[in-house]
Amino acid sequence: MRFGRSAAPEGVQSGRRNAHGWRSRVLALSAAALALPIAAGVAAPTVALAAPISAPVHRTPAGGYDELMVPSSMGPIKVQVQWARSGGNAALLLLDGLRARDDKNAWTVDVNAPAQWANDNVTLVMPVGGQSSWYADWTQPSNLNGQKFTYKWETFLTKELPDFLANYGVARDNYAVAGLSMSGPAALRLAAFHRNQFKYAASFSGPLNWNAPGMREAIRVMMLDAGHYNVDAMAAPWSPQWLRSDPMVFAPQLRGLPMFISSANGIPGPYDHPNSAVGVFNTGNAMGIEAISFISSKSFQSRLNSLNIPATYDFPAAGTHSWQYWIDELGKARPGILAALNAG
Q: What percent of the chain has pLDDT over 90?
A: 79
Strand partners, 262: 204, 314
Local structure of 123: helix, strand or coil? strand
Instruction: Determine the pLDDT at residue 2.
Output: 33
Kindly write down the DSSP assignment for every residue of 183-239, as one continuous string. Answer: HHHHHHHHHHH-TTTEEEEEEES----TTSTTHHHHHHHHHHHTTS--HHHH--TT-
> pTM of the full predicted structure?
0.85
Whole-angstrom CA distances from 103 to 150, 222, 335 are 20, 21, 30
pLDDT at residue 63 in the model: 86
- Is residue 97 within 8 Å of 13, Cβ to Cβ? no
| Whether residue 263 lies in the annotated active site | no
Section 200-205 average pLDDT: 98
Lowest mean pLDDT among 91-95, 165-169, 209-213: 209-213
Between these two residues, 289 and 43, which has the higher pLDDT value?
289
295 domain residue, yes or no: yes
Closest by alpha carbon to 144, among 261, 229, 202? 229
Identify the band that residue 55 occupies on the pLDDT scale cut at 50, 70 and 90: low
> Is residue 69 scored above 60 in pLDDT?
yes
Task: Give the pLDDT confidence of 173-191 residue by residue, as tens digits.
Answer: 999 999 999 999 999 999 9
Q: Which of 290, 296, 299, 329 is catalytic?
A: 290
Q: For position 62, what pLDDT does the model report?
A: 82
Whether 318 maps to a domain, the answer reads: yes
Q: Is residue 25 part of a domain?
A: no
Within a domain: 21: no
Residue 6 domain-assigned (yes or no): no
Q: What is the DSSP letter of 282?
A: H
185-189, 273-277, 327-331: which range is least confident on average?
Answer: 273-277
Position 281 in a domain: yes
Given 72, 133, 142, 181, the catalytic residue: 181
- Dist. CA 246–CA 22, nearest whole Å: 21
pLDDT confidence tier of residue 56, bands split at 50, 70 and 90? low
Sheet of strand 46-47: strand arrangement: 46-47, 65-70, 77-82, 122-127, 90-94, 175-180, 198-204, 259-262, 312-314
Quote the domain boundaries for residue 40.
32-340
Q: Is the pLDDT of residue 50 over 90?
A: no
Amino acid (one-letter) located at 176: A
Catalytic-role residue among 132, 203, 245, 321? 321
Query: What CATH number did the domain enclosing 310 receive?
Result: 3.40.50.1820
DSSP summary character for residue 158: I
The pLDDT > 70 percentage for the chain reads 82
Q: What is the mean pLDDT of residues 154-169?
A: 97
Alpha-carbon Rg for the chain in angstroms = 19
Look at 49 and 148; give whichever has higher pLDDT: 148
What φ, ψ does residue 39 adopt, rounded to 5°? -70, -45
60 confidence band (pLDDT: 50, 70, 90): low
The pLDDT value given to residue 213: 86
Average pLDDT of every residue of the chain: 87
pLDDT at 37 over 50: no
Number of domains the chain is built from: 1
Is 9 contained in some domain?
A: no
Distance, CA of 84 to chain centre: 20
Our answer to whether residue 321 is catalytic in this structure is yes
